[in-house]
Each structure stands twice: as C-alpha cells, then as structure tokens.
Chains A and B, each alone.
Chain A
Amino acid sequence: MAFLIVSLSVAVLISIVIALSLFVLTRKIARWFLSEYDSRLSNSLATEFYALILADTEMSADEIRRHCGALRRNRGFFKRKRTIRVGKSVLLKLVKEINGEELERARDLYRIMGCASLAVIELRDHRWWKRADAVSELGAMKVKESLDQVLELVSDKDETVRIKALEAGLEIGGPEILPVMIEALPEVTLWTIMNLAKILDPHLRESDSMILSLLNSKKKDLRKFAIIMLGLTKSVSSVPQLVNIASSGDKDEAAYALQALSFIEDPRAIPAALQALDTGTPEVKTKATLLLGQLGETDAVPSISPLLSDTDAAVRISAAHALARLGESGLSILMISALENGTPAQRASMQVLDELKIGVDERTADFQW
C-alpha cells in the first residue's frame, strides 16, 4: 500500500515538474517570438480604425455603432474577445493626444461602444485593479453620469483606487468638488498627500480657499496636508492662520506650520517663531530658527545664539545655519563659537563655516518636511 502511495506521488510530482518546465519554456519562447508582433499589429490596426472614425465628423452614432459591431465580428481583424479591450486602450491613448471636436467625438465613441456602462459595473469589482482602471477610464472620458459612483470610490479600502478616484472626480466634476472628496478620504497617508499635491498643481489658484478651509478639519492628517500644501503653494493669505497654528499647543502641527511659513517668507511669522524658540520641542526649535534665518531677522541673533549649545544636535546645527544668514552679527557669533575648544557649539559652528567655505548649501537638508 505504502509502495503504491509513494509511487503515485512520484508519478504526480514528475508530471507536475515536466508540465511546469514545459509551461515555462513554451511561455518564454512564445513571448519571444510572438508577443511584440501580435500587440503591435492589433494596436496599429485599431489606431487606424479609430482615427478613421474620429476624422469623419459627419458619421452618425448609428454608423459608428455599426462599424464597431463589424469590428467585433471580424475575426480576421483581431481576436473578437480582445476587440473591446484593445479598442478601449487605443481610445484612451488617443484622448491624450487629441483635443477639441475630435476629443469630444472620441468620448462619444467610448459611450457608444458601451465602454462607459461596463466601466461603471467594474467600479464594484472585488479586484482593486479593476476598480482603479475603471475609475481612471471614466475620468479620462469625462463620463458625467458616473460622478456619484466615482465619488463613492474616494473612500475605497484601497489607496490606489482612492487616488485614481480623486483624479477622476476632479476631471469630471472640476475643482469645486475637491473639498467633498478630500473630506471623504478615510486616511491621508504620505502617498495620498504627494498625489494630492500633484493633482492640485494645475488648480492651485482656485483651490487656495479650499485648502484653507481644511485647516479647520477634524482630521489631523487633513490639517497636516493643508499646512504642507499652503507652504508649497506659498499662500500669503494663509499666514495669519499658520501663525496661529505655530503658536498653538500641538507641537507636531506647529513644526509643520513653521516650515510652511519659511517657504512663504512673511515677516508676520517672526513673533511666533521667537516664541517657539523658548517653548518648542527640538523639532519646533529647528524649524523656528531656520524660519528666522530665512527671514533675515537680525534682531533674533541674541535669541538664536544660546541654541548653539542646545542638547539636540539638529537644533545646534539649524541655529548655526540661521546665524550664518543673519549678517555680520550672526557670523561673528559663529566665529567666536568656532574658537571654543571641543564644545558642541564649536562643532556646529565649524560645520557651518566649513560649508560656507566649500560652498555646500547643507541648509537645504533642514528644510525637509
């Protein structure tokens, strides 16, 4: 019995191994010989076909539908089951290259082919990548009817889908719906923030007030995002609110606000920065000293110079960097500290003086978010 079982196992394993080997090799060879040729042929034929339809502005919807039907039936053209997929991908490529009437026509064609309805159905697919593709498609094709379904995906469990939904929502609904979408986000990770910054880039003028309103959000992540965005966009109108945050109790947000203020370079931030030098955490102190250095606030030299002997190395270095930017009085303190023997202040001062000497702008490293 044991012999039989083991023999059978051996036979099964040998078969699997042979089958796997053959599969790997066949796949490799097939890919090698055919894949490039096949995809190029399908894509070039489809591109030609759609270009023809798009160029003929007189062609009615019925005629287009008839052409698409013919395309689906024609096995010689390319495989039937791939028709919609290849056709859709070609259309999606085309909409990036065309504009005006041609673009509108391509979007109509997308609907006429039934792709929009299919994409809306796929928004509920259990596979995240299907949802992400579908929502991107609807955005690229500006399918207005699908806006509600697209907005639902902003709170999807998958981050990639959420980001794609944000992009699509903005494309379909415009910047006005951004506050609704951002508030609907279940969490705001660094990746989401980076993508939001990218998405908002072309709409910065319209979105300034919207970002400002996010400073009052109950979600800490969103407030943090808003502070960063206001800094990156150098929003002067946000200075009073950022100054408030810099002086507020939340140390984490205060550090971000000081960082944003150093990007905006508005002198109204000076009192808050000076206050932060005494009360802040090492991170807050670092950002406050850099802000004062950035603003060239020479009156702050007496407040910054004691920080050269701070217990935290990052604070000492940022103080030295700030002093280096505060004219003669700052530089002379640095040079005096550099003469001290073996003290932390001497090391920080020497580092910054060396950087000045060799022309390395190390200060940029301190401006990391």
Chain B
Amino acid sequence: MVIQLWEGLNEFYSFFVLVYFILINLTYLTLLITSLPSILNYIRKNAVFDYRSILKSELAPSISVLVPAYNEEKSIIQSIHALLKLYYSNLEVVVINDGSRDSTLQRMIEHFGLVKVHKEFEESLPAAAVRGIYRSTLLPFDKLIVVDKNNGGKSDALNCGVNIASSKLVCSVDADSILEPDALLRVVKPFIEDSTRVVASGGIVRIVDGCEVENGFVKSVHLSKKWLPTFQVNEYLRSFLTGRVGWSAINGLMVISGAFGLFDKKTLIKCGGFRTDSIGEDMELVTRIHRILREEKRDYRVVFVPDPVCWTEAPKDLKTLSRQRNRWHRGLIDTMKLHRKMLFNPRYGVIGMLAFPYYFIFEMIGPFVELTGIIFVLLSFYLHIVDVYFFILFLVVAVIYGIFLSIGAILLEEYTFHRYPDPKDITRLIAFAFIENLGYRQMTAWWRVKGGFDYLRGVVTWGAMNRSGFDSKSEKSPAAR
C-alpha cells in the first residue's frame, strides 16, 4: 500500500520535475540567445562611442559616489584614493562611516586632513542621526565628503549618503570593491543616451581573486588558483552576461548589484530609498522602482551595462560562501514576499508577467525542487521503483544542459570582452563547468534551501564575510559586515 502510494506520488513528481526542467532550461536558453545580440550591439556602439566626450563635457551629469563603511580601517584609505582617481570630472565621493567601532574615521581624518564642517541637506530619506560631516582642507581631496553617523546598517548609510549627495546621480559602491578607472564613464552612458527615461543602471561584478591588484586598481586579470572562487567566476558569468543582459534587453532587470549601481537621485528619493529592514536591499529597491513607476505608468528604463567592471572578493571558504548564499536567498524571498502583488499581474508588464514569475518559480523555488528531487530519487532507489535507464538519461541531460549553459556564458565572455587573456584560464573555466555539477551545485542548492527555512524562522542577520583583501602589497583587510 505504502509502495503504491509512493509510486503514484513519484509518478506525479517525476512529471512535475520534467515540466519544471524543460521550462527552466528553455528560459535560460532564451536569456542566453537574447544576450548575444544585445552584447554584440553594445560592443559595436562602444567602438564608435568616444568616452572622452563625456569626460570633457560640462554637460555630463554629476555623480556622487556613495561608500558605506563599517570597520574598514585597514582598507578605507586605499579605497578612497582609488575612487578619487576614477575618470569622471563631475564627481564627488561621499564616504559614510556607519558608526564604525574601529578607527576608520580617525584614519580618514588624519590621512585626508579632514575638518568638521556644516553642510545643509534635506532629510529626504529617513536615516540614523548624523554626528558630523567632514571635508578636506587639502586641494587634491576637495571632492571628498566624509559623513560620520550612528550605526544603522548598509541601507541606512546609503540613505544618509543620498540625503547629503549634491549630484543628479548617485552611485552605490561597496567599500571593499574595486571599480575600474573608466567604470563611471561607462555606467553613466545610458543616462546620457536616454536621459529622460533611464532611472538606474548597473555594471558587471567580477571576481578579483587571482588578479594582480596594485594601488587599488586591477593591473592584470587571472583566474584564481583556488577552487571555490573559480566556481563562482562561472556563476557570475552566467548570471551577469546571460541573465542580466537578457533581462535588460526587455526592460525586465530586477537586480542591480549593491556593489555597483547608479541611480537617478530624484527617482530614488521618490521611491523611498533603500529599505533598512530588507536583507536583499539591492534587489528590493530595483523591484520597488519598477513597481512604483509602472503604477504611475511612467516610461522608464532600468539598464544593465555589461562592461563597467566592479571587482569584488569571492568567499574562499565554504562557511563564508554558505552564509552569503543563505543571505542572498533570504533577500530574494523577502523581495518576493514584499512585492507579491506583482506576480502574474499584467499591470506590471514584463516585470509582472515574466521577470517576477521567473525569480519566483525558478530562482526562489528552484533549490527546493532540486533538493526534493534528490530525496525522491534516493527513496525511489531504496524502494526499487525507479526506472534506472530513464533516470540516468535524465540526469545526463540535466548535467549536460547545465554545462552547455555555462560554456555558453564562457563563450559569450570570450567572444565579447575576453578579459582572461591566458588560454589556461579559459580551459580551467570550461573544466569547472563540468566539475561544478559534481557536488558544488547541490551544495549551493542546500544553502539556499537552508536560507529559505532561516527566513521562515525570522533570521535577519547578514552573517560575517571573511575577506582577505585585494592588494598583494597591502596588509590583510578587515572583516566586513
């Protein structure tokens, strides 16, 4: 009786998984296919686009780079120096010391010759109390503003930065990330080309592990010799070069990475800024922007630009990686829950009918389907009711399809930006596209499922991220939040 019941359940579940598998892979394939012409078109435009025109022009929109900093005493000076050297004439750098417990503020005061000043600003977004605003007395650092405030978290610090920023556009940057010198010129381009419609744009985030970093800039690009960062390079390529480019092409982009995103300040304020009680504040903000602007029936665009690069450090141990994936998944569920009325709601156009359902069905539920599938298979083997041939073939199709998508993303990277000059690196990436199916994918699925349960339990912590710092010549960087 139990076996019969199990057989029935197994049959139903197998059918469900098959349909799910076909749908998810068709979606990924469509994204891959739509990405290619978009990227090629972008590269062709770049070939005739003179970025010096933006650099020289008095008409280029002003940008305030917002850098929330919490206990960053070891790396903050170098980060600020690198940001002040970015190629952009109409720029100010606003560093928000979010109640650091170490000597982050003191180090900035001493190094940049900061003095406390008055600054008039409107508290358009709610944020923790500002303790002081500092400016440099030294001419080379006149574009630097340091805000000291009570601790309120990253979103709170960003909101405070938005209030103080005097530019038309605000760019959120993580203190522990590295922007390429021309990243701002590239990410601002959509705002210049379509100034009336573009409200946000984001650049690509790449893994810095293995690269040679000097004075806050990436000198040469290499793949890490370690396994975990290499797996993540493949994941990032899939996510950014196929996923985000594809969604951006149909104005369905729901995420702009918190590590590097450019927003129209007025729109950001109008939509309420960064949510302080959200774990995935970057995705939540972009989804909210879509929601509000669609409700207002405004003609707008949220754009992904595939080549302004923000380099970030990847978790190098399983514990840190598990915490990161757990948090990402909690953030995703939180966003889905907050904006659930958009799901399959034609009022929200592409977002309501395609992007939101994609994130809900494939990104949010996906890990649960993957893990329950494994459990079902193991139980079916135990009860001897599995069609072994069919199972093996299905497994092989699934794995090879996954490899196909990964290699598609590597091909796209190699065909377009080819940032990894050494053929050995590309060979390794292809090899890792095969290996990742033998445990890594299942492991990340488990962490995400665990994140889902943690969300239900009400866990709201960020989880410490152990980072070792970029610069081979510098000392080890501190632990971030």
Contacts and interface: CB of A to CB of B under 8 A. Distances in A.
Given A6-B397, A194-B59, A368-B90, A25 B118 contact: no
A38 to B, nearest CB: 17
Interface stretch (B48-56, B76-84, B238-246, B316-324): B48-56
Given A164-B48, A368-B90, A17 B168 contact: no
Nearest to B194: A189
A24 B48 contact: no
Interface stretch (B327-335, B408-416, B440-448, B450-458): B408-416
Interface in A89-123: none
A14 B400 contact: yes
A344 to B, nearest CB: 7
B119 A351 contact: yes
A320 B118 CA distance: 13
B44 interface: yes
Contacts of B4: none
A368 B165 CA distance: 14
A365 B166 contact: yes
A3 to B, nearest CB: 6
A3 B119 contact: no
A305 to B, nearest CB: 16
Contact of B59 (A13, A190, A348, A355): A190
B426 A359 contact: no
Nearest to B90: A368
Contact of B139 (A198, A348, A351, A359): A359
A213 interface: no
Given A190-B192, A358-B117, A368-B90, A6 B390 contact: yes
A315 to B, nearest CB: 11
A348 B166 CA distance: 14
A292 to B, nearest CB: 19
B59 A228 contact: yes
Interface stretch (A27-35, A41-49, A60-68, A266-274): A27-35
B48 A20 contact: no
Main SS class of interface, A: helix
Contact of B407 (A24, A189, A365): A24
Interface string A10-25: 1001101100110111
Contacts of B56: 198
Contacts of A365: 62, 92, 166-167
A189 B196 CA distance: 9
Contacts of A29: 423
B298 interface: no
A354 B117 contact: yes
Given A159-B193, A351-B119, A365-B92, A197 B59 contact: yes
B38 to A, nearest CB: 14
A9 interface: yes
A347 B423 CA distance: 59
A298 interface: no
Contacts of A7: 393
Contacts of A344: 120
Contacts of B90: 368
A359 B194 CA distance: 36
A132 B44 CA distance: 10
A350 interface: yes
Interface in A321-363: 344, 347-348, 350-351, 353-355, 358-362
B89 to A, nearest CB: 11
B11 interface: no
Contacts of B426: 24-25, 28
The 8 tightest CB contacts between A and B, nearest first, are A350-B118, A354-B117, A6-B393, A347-B120, A13-B400, A190-B195, A313-B122, A129-B44
Given A6-B394, A190-B59, 19 more contacts: A13-B397, A13-B401, A17-B407, A24-B411, A24-B414, A129-B44, A160-B48, A164-B48, A189-B195, A190-B61, A190-B195, A194-B53, A194-B57, A194-B192, A316-B120, A347-B120, A350-B118, A359-B137, A365-B166
